[in-house]
A and B are shown apart, each in its own frame.
Chain A
Amino acid sequence: MKRIICMLLAAYMAVSLCACASNAQKAPEDAGPIRLVWWTYISTSAPNALDEVLEKANAISAEKIGVTVDMQFKNAEQFTLDLNTGDYYDMTFSCDWCNNFDNNAREGYYYDLTELVRSETPALYDAVGSWWGIGSLGDRIYGVPMLKDLGAEVFFRINSDYFEGEKGMELPESMDFSELEPMLKIWKEDHPNEYPLYMTQSGLSGMFQCHERIVGSYLVIPYSKTGTPEGTKIIPVWEDEDYMNMLRCLHRWYELGYINPDAATTTDMPYSLLTPVRSGTAWTGYKGWSNPETVGFNVKLVRYIGPNMSRSTQQGSLIAVNAAASEEHARACLRYMELLYTDREFRDLLAYGIEGKHFNYYEGTVIRTQQGSDDYLMDNFVTGPAVSASVVSASEEILADSDQWTKVYEEYENARQSDTRGFSFDGSSTDAVRAALSALWENYRSELVTGTVDPDETIKEIEKQMRATGLDQVREEAQRQLDDYLANMQ
């Protein structure tokens, strides 16, 4: 008996091991509609109501275009790992900061859609219009841009109840970074034990958007140089005077007690802190941070950077197709993306959930219900183009402009366009040096961007170390690539 139990146990465990090993994913082939595996991004975990929403969406897409999707949510690390181990997908989220589009397209991981998109889905081709360059390398299309805000505009999110209501100040539409100081001073006088510019170790969100990042966060081209001969000259980040001036302000504010002393090691910043000034990247007319029930007070956005535009700001969301997908599946992916661009109700379903349950339409905009906020809340660019979805209002009182995107895109005509004209750096020959440089920059980043240290002194130390590690070698390589790219374009 004992022997039999032993054998059974051993057999069971051996089978379990084999089962683990053979659990590789294969492309599903159904007899009915084509089922596509779609990888998309989420920083935490898939929304609770995903199955319910997908069931409804799949019924619609199966009927309209003969395609259904199996949507799989991943964070940035999972994307890299799953892509590199060869897991199967049909279409995938890709962008500048996650599942890097340019690198993957350059490596040949994505399907060349250049001819197919014109012949199979002309309506999709027209919808993206003049923006195809975002998803192209050279003259070949490797990804479909999911159009959203394309220029970087960075805003202070300011407590207007306090500054306008109580203090009688007027918050302008835009201001210089340093103009924040008197406001911080007033708040500090009223609340001596609190910090008006509370921040985490990441610093003020979006503050770097005053320059285009070419290599890592340390080799850049300032947007302020656009249109001048220096508009195509790659420099170390500390030579961007606009950025340095912001860092100097932050350090002064830190010393004055406007910034929390633990900023460089703080990881959370909940709304319950009621901090009167926050920062974030959005677009003019955005209402996502304006709900007083969530934030604790009324908020006004005051722009302090932008709109600035470059390849990296434009590559906020794309969908690429797996180079290993069959042509039939590639066509199905394009049809699905076309549906996302052309059918507003279908688009809203994926972006906001089920109407009447997760959201309601109001004055041409969408207002989320509590259930929607709890069970189906994510960035809308991960499920398709933001421009083809309805605009979100914070509440019936805080309405967004339903025609917001037309105005945002009109403003882009006046945005500062980077002179690099869609250039992206190929870092494959400098991997080792870049790794060492990244580590060095990371060593000082939190202290710098939170104002904890004097930027002028710290930069001297960083510069010495980074130059010794090979910063100039990488900068010269990047400059050479950029010069060649611009010469070829001409």
Chain B
Amino acid sequence: MKGRNAHKRVLRASDRSLLLLSLPTVLWYLAFCYLPMFGIVIAFKRYRMIPGKGFLYSLFFGSDWVGLENFRFLFLNPQMGIAVRNTLLYNLCFLILGTTLPVMLAISLSYIRSERLRSVSQSAALLPHFLSWIIVSYFAFSFLSTDKGLFNTILTSVGLSPVRWYQDPSVWPLLLVVIHGWKGFGYSMVLYYSYVVAIDPSLYESAAIDGASAGQMIRHITLPQLRGVITVLVLLNLGHILSSDFGLFYQVTRDSGAILSATETIDVYVYKALMDQSNYGFSAAASLLQNGIGCLLLLGANRLTRRIDPDGGVL
């Protein structure tokens, strides 16, 4: 009897409508996220198409198992250590700066009184997010070009010798961090800002009555209120710690070989390795490894978060 009631409760009329509404999303996830997961087997096979048969038949019945052979090319690269180091360091840097700066900006934004100035700054910061990396790479080139770039024009006009920016690896860590920040911070800032303005104003009012300064309010009200969303975003980003934005590292650097010690990431290596041969097994192996490690990290960090704060975490 109790079970029947519970069953009834689950399928209340309003719930049924909600369930129906969510159906397309669920189907979408099933079709495009869960169903293609079987494709992981490509990472362990030498894919060979059987003429006249579809992809699935060719994969399961026409392709031989090769064990871990597809992963081998990743470890043959003598510079793999540098690529892994670059990927990890850039991602950590993006993670730290990409959290602290947008949060600070969002809080500062909430203190701007003029609505007009606030919306203008919000739009201006958000705009670069919508530019493609190709466009950004042309912007960067117009600044960094050796003979016609803005930077070198300024340098030569004050009597200094021009710099070959695309040949000098030492400047690229800073350049990439700045360009990545310029393109991405606005979006995160708007996201955090929406959380900042949603904080119950009565908290600030009572703090003001108690004589709290702005700094104290930020430390004791705003930041604790934002902790949940910050944790979630940091954890989700940890899942991509071994992946990198190909547009940033390949397009913006204009595939310049001389600066690779500072700019080569795992994704750039995989792309270059597979340009000559379209080996789906190799690319599947590379992304399985990147995402597998990312997933383990996410789970580990999530567990740690839950241990510190039982209400935190994403899972």
Contacts and interface: CB of A to CB of B under 8 A. Distances in A.
B246 interface: no
A469 B78 contact: yes
Contacts of A108: 51
A452 interface: yes
A31 interface: no
A28 interface: no
Interface string A69-90: 0000000010011011110000
Interface in A1-22: 2-3, 6-7, 9-10, 13-14, 17, 21
Interface string B33-55: 00000000000000111111111
B306 interface: no
Given A435-B282, A438-B275, A438-B276, A107 B49 contact: yes
A439 B273 contact: yes
Given A7-B20, A435-B274, A323 B51 contact: yes
A443 B278 contact: no
B69 interface: yes
B52 to A, nearest CB: 3
Interface in B117-165: 141, 145-147, 164
Nearest to B268: A439
- Give chain A's interface secondary structure class: helix
B239 to A, nearest CB: 25
Question: Taking each of A10, A262, A433, which has the highest tally of chain B beta carbons within 10 Å of its own beta carbon?
Answer: A262
Interface in B245-292: 254-258, 260, 264, 269, 272-280, 282
A435 B278 CA distance: 10
A239 B100 CA distance: 53
A229 B307 CA distance: 72
A433 B277 CA distance: 12
A68 interface: no
B272 A9 contact: no
Contacts of B72: 432
Contacts of A440: 77-79
Contacts of B167: 264, 452
A307 to B, nearest CB: 26
A443 B24 contact: no
B60 interface: no
Nearest to B254: A265
A260 interface: yes
Given A14-B24, A435-B279, A86 B257 contact: no
A108 B54 CA distance: 15
A98 to B, nearest CB: 11
Interface string B71-97: 011001111000000000000000000
A312 interface: no
A442 B275 contact: yes
A468 to B, nearest CB: 5
B23 interface: yes
A108 to B, nearest CB: 7
A395 to B, nearest CB: 34
A261 B24 contact: no
Contact of A85 (B28, B54, B146, B254): B54
A14 B70 CA distance: 36
Contact of B21 (A6, A80, A107): A6
Contacts of A13: 23-24, 27-28
A431 B254 contact: no
Contacts of A7: 20
A17 B35 CA distance: 13
Contact of B23 (A14, A433, A445): A14
A246 B248 CA distance: 33
Question: Taking each of A322, A443, A445, which has the highest tally of chain B beta carbons within 10 Å of its own beta carbon?
Answer: A443
A264 B166 contact: yes
Interface in A435-450: 435-436, 438-440, 442-447
13 contacts: A3-B13, A7-B20, A77-B278, A85-B54, A86-B49, A86-B52, A86-B54, A262-B145, A431-B73, A432-B69, A433-B76, A434-B277, A435-B76
Given A80-B278, A265-B141, A444-B257, 9 more contacts: A3-B16, A6-B17, A84-B58, A109-B51, A265-B166, A322-B52, A435-B273, A435-B277, A465-B78
Interface of A: 2-3, 6-7, 9-10, 13-14, 17, 21, 24, 77, 80-81, 83-86, 107-109, 201, 216, 260-262, 264-265, 267, 322-324, 427, 431-436, 438-440, 442-447, 452-453, 465, 468-470
Interface of B: 13, 16-17, 20-21, 23-24, 27-28, 31, 47-55, 57-58, 69-70, 72-73, 76-79, 141, 145-147, 164, 166-167, 254-258, 260, 264, 269, 272-280, 282
